[in-house]
């Protein structure tokens, strides 16, 4: 999706009022009835219809006519706008540049602040790919199911930001977090290549040890990354030092499946080093050993999982996201070709394979928009059938 920053400046204050009303209405309505939008925005009736029309023209809202009533829903574009407006009001971002990444569940843009410093804006897009997981999720979403993609994406951004902040403060090699609003996070731009794009390193053994040490350091601090793979490890262009990104799925070492998550992170690195650099080592960290050591030497006091919770991050609300992620994981495990391939990138080692996997998920990069439309269309259909 294109983010047009210049266009964003031309939303009038009345239009903004109406857009906000649509957002508020979508907390309880999948399709927000036009009369409700009129009521919330408290502008004159005729005026609101015209404003809605102009917002719809710019794809910030979409008109939906169903059997029961006419209404509108907020689009990704509208939600993006609201988040970016909040950040620009706080002077965190000033202009939007190129898109540098399309993840399965995010879009990544280079943006700049007032002083032209480059930053990275990550827009979370949960619910973009897996329709089945959304269906499963509906069972426990309860009343909130109507705002599912928005709600899930915001939870993911809040979680990622909270973890990035605590990790950065404790000197883990992660990007400096700058700001967060709705489903977006803003962070330091790292001049680096993902490990996945790197064919050769001067010393695979040294990098391997560094990465394993990082997994251990996480665990000793009470955390497991949960998606520690060649896509989420960036190698700085200048120094060759690794930087870790992508935290919405982080789990505590006291999670009931902690050992499984831990082993998967370790395995991802081992497998990648074996395939890419022909590097194998019999030395790798074991969860139980770390657990035993940390309780012995008292470093258990330094529980970053608890620090994150204490930082105002809402653990209760985040349960919904956790279940969603678990669901996604199970989906991947069920749908995977050999059962053990779970998690982004754990099964992919060359481009052909990765395309195949993406197609199996019903998503490929240049089709992003269509799939999103299909997803939104699906939601509408679902709501009609209720
Ligand atoms: P996803 O959750 O969709 O996997 P990531 O956070 O892993 O999103 O980011 C996707 C890609 O965007 C990364 O592989 C990397 O190439 C790029 N990227 C993300 N954050 C940064 C950053 N702070 N600096 C530079 N590149 C980044
Ligand atoms: Mg990633």
CA distance 68 to 66: 6
Q: Report the alpha-carbon distance of residue 118 to residue 160 in Å, rounded.
A: 20
- Answer yes or no: are the C-beta atoms of 230 and 220 closer than 8 Å: no
* Ligand with an atom nearest the CA of residue 157: 1
Q: What six digits make up the tokens of 59? A: 């794809």
3-class secondary structure, 185: strand
pTM score: 0.81
Structure ipTM: 0.99
307, containing H or E segment: helix 304-310
Q: To the nearest 10°, report the CA torsion of 333, 335, 339, 340.
A: -50
Eight-state DSSP code of residue 249 = T
| Paired strand residues for 185 | 122, 180
Q: C-alpha 176: how far from its chain's center?
A: 17
- Which of 360, 357, 340, 179 minimizes the C-alpha distance to 267? 340
Q: Are 275 and 349 in contact (CB under 8 A)?
A: yes
Ligand 1, atom 23, residue with closest C-alpha = 189
- Is the CB of residue 168 below 6 angstroms from any atom belonging to ligand 1? no
Residue 7 falls in the annotated catalytic set: no
Catalytic-labelled residue, pool 113, 227, 246, 265:
227
Mean pLDDT, each 10-residue run in order, the chain (386 residues): 60 93 91 94 84 94 88 93 94 92 88 95 79 49 56 93 96 98 97 96 97 97 96 97 96 93 97 98 95 73 79 77 77 50 36 36 32 34 38
Ligand 1 pocket mutation pick from 122, 161, 242 by most atoms within 8 angstroms of CB: 122
- Verify whether ligand 1 is closer than 6 Å to residue 204 (CB atom): no
| pLDDT at site 3 | 63
pLDDT of residue 340: 34
Domains, the chain = 1-74 (1.10.10.10), 192-361 (1.10.510.10)
Q: 168 — phi, psi (to 5°)?
A: -65, -45
State the Cα–Cα distance between residues 196 and 284, nearest whole angstrom: 20
Q: What is the DSSP letter of 300?
A: G
Tokens (6 digits) for 103: 């993840």
Nearest CA, atom 6, ligand 1: 246
């Amino acid at each position: 999706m294109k983010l047009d920053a210049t266009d964003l400046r031309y939303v009038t204050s009345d239009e903004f009022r109406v857009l906000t009303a649509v957002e508020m209405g979508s907390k309880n309505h999948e399709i927000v009835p036009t009369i409700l939008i009129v009521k919330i925005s408290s502008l004159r009736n005729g005026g609101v219809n015209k404003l809605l029309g102009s917002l719809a023209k710019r794809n910030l809202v979409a008109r939906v006519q169903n059997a029961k009533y006419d209404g509108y829903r907020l689009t990704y574009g509208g939600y993006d706008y609201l988040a970016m407006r909040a950040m620009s009001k706080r002077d965190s971002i000033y202009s939007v540049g190129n898109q540098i990444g399309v993840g399965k569940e995010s879009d990544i843009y280079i943006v700049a602040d007032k002083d032209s410093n480059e930053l990275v804006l990550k827009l979370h897009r949960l619910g973009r790919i897996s329709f089945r997981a959304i269906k499963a999720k509906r069972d426990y979403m309860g009343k909130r199911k109507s705002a599912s993609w928005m709600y899930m994406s915001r939870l993911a951004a809040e979680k990622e930001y909270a973890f990035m902040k605590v990790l950065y403060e404790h000197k883990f090699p992660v990007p400096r977090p700058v700001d967060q609003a709705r489903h977006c996070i803003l962070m330091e731009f790292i001049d680096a290549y993902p490990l996945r794009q790197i064919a050769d390193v001067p010393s695979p053994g040294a990098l391997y040890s560094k990465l394993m040490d990082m997994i251990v350091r996480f665990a000793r601090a009470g955390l497991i990354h949960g998606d520690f793979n060649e896509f989420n490890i960036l190698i700085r262009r200048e120094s060759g030092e690794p930087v870790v990104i992508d935290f919405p799925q982080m789990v505590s070492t006291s999670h009931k499946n902690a050992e499984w998550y831990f082993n998967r992170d370790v395995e991802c690195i081992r497998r990648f080093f074996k395939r890419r650099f022909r590097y194998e080592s019999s030395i790798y960290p074991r969860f139980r050993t770390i657990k035993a050591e940390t309780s012995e030497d008292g470093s258990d006091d330094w529980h970053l999982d608890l620090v994150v919770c204490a930082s105002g991050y809402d653990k209760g609300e985040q349960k919904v996201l956790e279940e969603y992620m678990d669901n996604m994981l199970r989906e991947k495990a069920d749908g995977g070709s050999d059962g053990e391939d779970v998690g982004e990138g754990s099964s992919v080692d060359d481009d052909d394979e990765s395309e195949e996997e993406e197609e199996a998920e019903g998503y490929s990069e240049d089709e992003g928009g269509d799939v999103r439309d299909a997803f939104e269309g699906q939601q509408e259909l679902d709501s009609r059938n209720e």
